[in-house]
Amino acid sequence: MDPMNYIVLAAIVFTIGAVGVLVRRNAIIVFMCVELMLNACNLAFVAFSRMHGGIEGQVIAFFVMVVAAAEVVVGLAIIMQIFRTRRSASIDDANLLKN
């Protein structure tokens, strides 16, 4: 097995996540699909790190995880705030900045 297979798998998972972002309308699931895309990129980073014998890929993947955690915290807080004012978690309903 060639290590490029990991990159192919990362591409497939990334595409699935992108399809989810485009298709689903529940804001929480859209967020999960964004996480899926970030994780696919992390897999590619880690696989490249091993292929080239450098640790930089793992360091970048670590930073991606930190940023993703911060993004999830703020994003979910925004979703909860939208749900409080509009009683809906659908991204089609959030068409105003202020209720």
Partner 1 sequence: MNTVPLQTTAVSAAVGGGEAATFYVLGTLVVLAALGVVFSRKAVYSALMMAVVMIGLAVFYGINQAPFLMVVQIVVYTGAVLMLFLFVLMLVGVSSSDSLVETIRGHRLLTAVIALCFLVPLVSGLAAITAGEPVGLSAGVAAAGGSIPWIAGEIIYRYVIAFEATGALLITAVLGALVLAHSARTKKKRTQRQMSQDRIRGDHPTPLPGPGTYARHNAIDMPALLPDGSVSQLSINPVLAARNPELQHGVPEDLSYSIGAAPDEKPDTAASDNDGQREDEGSWTR
Q: Considering beta carbons, is residue 15 or 97 the nearer one to partner 1?
A: 15
Cα–Cα distance measured from residue 77 to residue 12, given in angstroms and rounded to the nearest whole number:
30
Q: Considering beta carbons, is residue 84 or 96 the nearer one to partner 1?
A: 84
Beta strands in 23-96 (DSSP E): none
Cβ of residue 21: shortest distance to partner 1, in angstroms? 9
Cα–Cα distance measured from residue 62 to residue 37, given in angstroms and rounded to the nearest whole number:
15
Q: Considering beta carbons, is residue 1 or 96 the nearer one to partner 1?
A: 1
Can you give the binding site for partner 1, defined by CB under 8 A?
1-9, 11-13, 15-20, 22-26, 28-29, 31-33, 35-36, 39, 42-43, 46-47, 49-56, 58-59, 61-63, 65-74, 76-81, 83-84, 88-90, 92
In angstroms, how far is CA 62 from the centroid of its own chain?
A: 14
DSSP state of 47: H
Cβ of residue 97: shortest distance to partner 1, in angstroms? 14
Taking CA atoms, 80 is separated from 25, 39, 52, in Å, by 15, 24, 43
